[in-house]
């Protein structure tokens, strides 16, 4: 018998295994625990990239004109999962995966993190209709 997940915010109890696994509270409609973001951050690849390495002018323009130094801008990537693009003072930027309070984020996250040999990467692209978009991908790690 598994233990229920008890939300630290509202103290509602859930016996759903996915709620317990990802600390999702259906009442708060949010990931109320801290383990999910820690698990993602521990598997992210590539933390910082220089702006001059970005080949796409529109993406470089978006980062330099839209995001203040020290600030961040969230870009939708998947249902329930966004990418926060952060601009740093030394002309670097980084991208962090952010979970939004969407219940579908649980199943998307479960698929992304199902294989422990994969890390999570973020790619940026420019779309004429949507602007800058992000894609979260599971990257297979190779061992030598």
* Ordered DSSP codes for 46-114: ---EEGGG---HHHHHHHHHHS-TT-EEEEEEETTEEEEEEE-TTSEEEEEEEE-S-THHHHHHHHHHS
What tokens does 69 get?
């130094």
DSSP 44: B
Domain extent at residue 5: 1-33
67 inside domain:
yes
Do residues 25 and 80 both lie within one domain? Answer: no
Q: For residue 11, what pLDDT is reported?
A: 92
Please tell me whether residue 23 adopts helix, strand or coil conformation: coil
40 inside domain:
no
Do residues 20 and 52 both lie within one domain? Answer: no
39 inside domain:
no
Q: Residue 14: is its pLDDT beyond 80? A: yes
Q: For residue 144, what pLDDT is reported?
A: 41
Q: For residue 45, what pLDDT is reported?
A: 61
The Cα–Cα gap between 112 and 40 comes to 10
55 inside domain:
yes
Count structural domains, the chain.
2
Do residues 28 and 83 both lie within one domain? Answer: no
Cβ atoms of 104 and 133 closer than 8 Å: no
Do residues 2 and 57 both lie within one domain? Answer: no
Do residues 15 and 81 both lie within one domain? Answer: no
Q: How confident is the model at residue 13 (pLDDT cuts 50, 70, 90)?
A: very high
- The percent of residues above 90 in pLDDT, for the chain, comes to 6
Do residues 102 and 130 both lie within one domain? Answer: yes
Do residues 26 and 66 both lie within one domain? Answer: no
53 inside domain:
yes
Do residues 23 and 53 both lie within one domain? Answer: no
19 inside domain:
yes
Do residues 59 and 121 both lie within one domain? Answer: yes
Q: What is the pLDDT of residues 80-136, one digit of tens each?
A: 778 888 898 888 888 877 777 676 777 777 777 777 777 777 788 888 888 888 887
């Amino acid at each position: 018998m598994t233990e229920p997940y008890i939300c630290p915010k509202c103290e509602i109890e859930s016996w759903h295994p996915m709620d317990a696994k990802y600390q999702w509270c259906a009442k708060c409609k949010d990931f109320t625990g801290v383990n999910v973001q820690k698990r993602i951050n521990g598997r992210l690849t590539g933390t910082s990239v220089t702006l001059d390495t970005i080949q796409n002018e529109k993406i470089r323009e978006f980062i330099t004109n839209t995001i203040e130094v020290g600030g961040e801008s969230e870009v939708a990537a998947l249902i329930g999962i966004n990418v926060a693009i952060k601009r740093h003072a030394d002309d670097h930027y980084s991208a962090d995966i952010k979970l939004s309070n969407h219940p579908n984020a649980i199943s998307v996250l479960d698929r992304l993190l199902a294989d422990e040999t994969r890390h999570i990467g973020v790619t940026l692209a420019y779309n004429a209709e949507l602007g800058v978009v992000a894609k979260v991908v599971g990257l297979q790690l190779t061992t030598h």
